[in-house]
Amino acid sequence: MKKIVIFITCIFLFFLFGCSFDYGDREPSGEEQPGLIMENVEYVRVRSADPKAKFLAERAERYEKQGVMRIQNLTFEQYGGHGEEVNALGSAGYASVEIQSGDIFMDQDVRIEVETEDITIETYQLEWRDEPHTLSTPEENEVTISQDNGTSFTGTGLHVSARDRQWEFKGNVSGLFIHDDIEIEETAETETIEDDL
């Protein structure tokens, strides 16, 4: 879960320190025009000469008055081990970043793979709230969580508290959960639990 928090923080910092341009007077309209438009964006965040994260986006628009960055077709990677290994990666068709708060809303086939935790989250919409450190979906949204060991279950209304590492679904959870017990693992046996969670 710590890797998810670090990754989402990196996304926020990328958009927080974006540039803005003043295009001069525009004809008044009902909606704010973006202060900055970028297409085919590639951004690599580097710290102490090591790449920490890479973001690719088809289009990004920054709205100063609203304090929002809107991104289309976003893919991302977070690196560890001096930039030599991928810790987390993912994609979303659309994302909206609240620049001041760090809250991020992702939409349209969201997928996050946390390699170090061996967990994949797939859903249609996902929201990160930075201050309480929570990850959630709307109550009716279906979420699939899977691991390489064969664990795969689906539920609706995911809510994750990153601070205390609590995961919960609001309803309709079913699937296969495989628990590898350390003591049993030493005897080369695996305990399998199949149940409606």
Evaluate whether residue 184 is within a structural domain. no
Task: Answer yes or no: is 133 within a domain.
Answer: yes
Domain that holds residue 15: 2-22+32-172
Report if residue 179 sits inside a domain: no
- pLDDT at position 144 over 90: yes
- 72 is a domain residue: yes
Q: How many domains does the chain have?
A: 1
Q: What whole-number distance in Å separates Cα of residue 71 and Cα of residue 12? A: 12
Comparing 76-80, 101-105, 185-189, the range with the smallest average pLDDT is 185-189
| Beta-bridge mates of residue 90 | 76, 112
CA 148 from chain centre, in angstroms, equals 19
Q: Is 182 among the domain residues?
A: no
For residue 152, being part of any structural domain is answered with yes
pLDDT in tens, 145-172: 999 988 999 999 999 898 888 889 998 8
pLDDT per residue as tens digits for the range 20-77 = 444 444 445 567 899 889 999 888 878 888 887 788 999 999 999 999 989 999 998 8
DSSP class of residue 34 equals P
Which CATH number do you get for residue 127? 2.60.450.10
